[in-house]
């Protein structure tokens, strides 16, 4: 079975500061990992994905994440926060079964960006 743990349900950063959202995964086989963002009253938008190619993955809006197998982590970072980054961020894991495979989500981290 696969699972993800997101440390910190709320993270607050100043505009221009580094954003670091933590995600650790548990999987019996090499996983596919994802970060989704949810803006208020909207659906889930894919930020980036790891699918066993490069361990450093670049996504949209300046976000990136690094897959570290030794630490079972897939933390999301952005060098400089913008007010528009305020949203809820979800880490998710999926097994590669070759068929319709479900996403298992973490509990989410709400990012607040202050002036």
Partner 1 sequence: EPEVTQTPSHQVTQMGQEVILRCVPISNHLYFYWYRQILGQKVEFLVSFYNNEISEKSEIFDDQFSVERPDGSNFTLKIRSTKLEDSAMYFCASSVGGPGIQHFGDGTRLSIL
CA dist 41 and 59 (Å) reads 22
- Beta bridge partners, 13, equal 113
Per-residue binding string, partner 1, 55-94, x by CB under 8 A, is -----------------------------------x-x-x
How far separated are the first and last CA of the chain, in Å rounded? 41
Residue 40 C-beta: closest distance to partner 1, Å = 11
Residue of the chain from 7, 27, 32, 86 that contacts partner 1 (CB under 8 A): 32
The torsion angles phi and psi of 31, rounded to 5 degrees, stand at -95, 165
Contact 25, 32 (CB under 8 A): no
Residue 36 C-beta: closest distance to partner 1, Å = 8
Binding site for partner 1 (CB under 8 A): 32, 36, 41-46, 49, 90, 92, 94, 96-108
């Amino acid at each position: 079975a696969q699972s993800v743990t997101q440390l910190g349900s709320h993270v607050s950063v100043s505009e221009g500061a580094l954003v670091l959202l933590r995600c650790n995964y548990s999987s019996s086989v090499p996983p596919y990992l994802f970060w989704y963002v949810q803006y208020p009253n909207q659906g889930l938008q894919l930020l980036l994905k790891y699918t066993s190619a490069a361990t450093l993955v670049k996504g949209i809006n300046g976000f990136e994440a690094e897959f570290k197998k030794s630490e079972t982590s897939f933390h999301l970072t952005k060098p400089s926060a913008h007010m528009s980054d305020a949203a809820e961020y979800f880490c998710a894991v999926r097994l590669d079964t070759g068929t319709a495979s479900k996403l298992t989500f973490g509990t989410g981290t709400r990012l607040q960006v202050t002036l």
